[in-house]
Amino acid sequence: MRKFVSFFLSLYHRLLPLLGAILYRFPSHRIRVIGVTGTKGKSTTLALLFHIFEYAGHRPALVSSTSVWMGKERERNMTGNSMPGRFFLQRFLRKAIKKGCDIALVEVTSQGVAQFRHQWIDWNDVAFLGIHPEHIEAHGSFEAYMAAKVSFFSYAQAHTSATFFVRADDAHADSFVNAAGKHEVILFSQMDGLVAPPSLLGDFNQINIACARRIALHEGVEDVTIQEAVSSFKGLEGRMQVVCESPVRGVVDYAHTPDSLRAVLSHLASDTKGSLICVLGSAGGGRDKWKRPHLGAAASEYCDRIIVTNEDPYDEDPRAIMEAVYEGISNHHKEANTAEIIEEREAAIIKARLYAKEGDCIVCSGKGSENSIHVAGGKVIPWSDAEVLSRVCEENN
């Protein structure tokens, strides 16, 4: 019975992209399509590419975990999926063509690939930003997670004339280069980036800039135009978003893996004269339980004070999730009473502001630009880290 269900689901997911392509008359044949994959940086890289192409006179369209943009139209991605299914991508491409767009930018996720959503799309450029452990429980292992990412390259190699862009210094770069076969492969690294604007804080954003630059150059945008566009980029909501500067700095970031959290915190620690206070957004319920203590450990490496709080528990016990994160925090913090659990997220942010003194920095991690918290029974609570942190900071000036 289990094998029958598995076969049926596989067939179902394979048929949907084909039916969508037929229904919307294979729209990818009439617009250049660029796909970006990797564990982190996808949304920022795509938003930066959108800005570069728009600055250069193109009319781009974009779908990412945070946004659906077409020309001047800006909407949130409300589907709950970074790479939506059920005909969404084919419909998105057809609508982009009707709106006069000439380039479509698509965030490609491992789970989207596992459900064949990348198929029946004529990819022109595909990029790999790097890979770290994530979605392990959904895929069964890190190897299966990486295989899903690689299979996106393999599909584009076999079925399209795509050019491939690969982060050269990633430990798994060779797997993606090999998957490109005889197609053109353009390598990029942090050294290829431009001077980052204030909206792209942190060395880790140099990879995003380097990738966007290489793709834009390949698509015919002049380097001087790219540099001007990058310098005028305003940033992406929820990604190293500075919501207040004085007397206390407040930053919101999505950082949802131990590696991305370390990257964010190491930059903020080096850029903060006072103390770094982290409202640690815990971890989502029902998935990637392995990373919970590692998030706590990452925070304890760089932060002077840590408040572990709720994120998206779904139907899992939120206290159990937070305690698992707390267990990863070093004994130094626990004994010094500089780490605690405050389950209610707004109360945690208020407490962080009460602790903060002039010159300190508060960073809220885990939610980024997400506008809701998912709790038991399918209930969804409206929420915004940026709005709450900004209000709390303003009220306590």
**What is the residue range of 189's domain?**
23-231
Residues 255 and 209 in one domain: no
pLDDT at 132 over 80: no
Q: Is the pLDDT of residue 2 over 70?
A: no
What's the mean pLDDT when you consider all of the chain?
Answer: 90
Q: Is the pLDDT of residue 5 over 60?
A: no
Q: Locate tokens 């229904």: which residue? A: 23
Based on the fold, state whether residues 121 and 213 are members of the same structural domain: yes
Please list, residue by residue across 313-331, b when 16 or more beta carbons sit within 10 angstroms of its beta carbon and e when fewer do. Answer: bbebebeebbbbbbebbee
- At residue 341, φ and ψ (nearest 5 deg) are -110, 125
Examine residue 17 and state whether it is found in any structural domain, yes or no. Answer: no
The number of residues in the chain equals 397
Q: Taking the alpha carbons of 258, 192, 238, 306 in that order, is the dihedral positive or negative?
A: positive
**The CATH number of the domain where 36 resides is what?**
3.40.1190.10
What is the tens place of the pLDDT at every residue in 293-333? 999 999 999 999 999 999 999 999 999 999 999 999 998 89
Where a domain ends, among 231, 261, 284?
231
Question: pLDDT tens across 62-78, in order?
Answer: 999 888 999 888 888 76
Q: Is residue 11 part of a domain?
A: no
Would 109 be classed as within a structural domain?
A: yes
- 214-239 pLDDT, tens digit each: 999 999 999 999 999 999 999 889 99
Residues 337 and 371 placed together within one structural domain of the fold = yes
Distance, first Cα to last Cα, the chain: 62
Q: Which two tokens stand for residue 176?
A: 């993606």
Task: Looking at the structure, tell me whether residues 193 and 218 fall in a common domain.
Answer: yes
The conformation of residue 377, written as its DSSP 8-state character, comes to G
pLDDT tens digits, residue range 355-393? 999 999 999 999 998 889 999 999 999 999 999 999 999
**224 and 170 co-located in one domain:** yes
Q: How many Cβ atoms are within 10 Å of 239's Cβ, its own excluded?
A: 25
Residues 117 and 193 in one domain: yes
Question: Domain for residue 246, yes or no?
Answer: yes
Query: Is residue 281 included in any domain, yes or no?
Result: yes
In this prediction the pTM is: 0.88
285 and 169 in a common domain? no
Domain check: are 114 and 208 in the same one? yes
**Is 330 part of a structural domain of the chain?**
yes
Q: What is the pLDDT of residues 266-292, one digit of tens each?
A: 999 999 999 999 999 878 888 888 899
When computed from its CA atoms, the radius of gyration of the chain, rounded to whole angstroms, is 21
- Residue keyed to tokens 């528990």: 313
Q: What is the pLDDT of residue 11?
A: 66
Please count the structural domains in the chain.
2
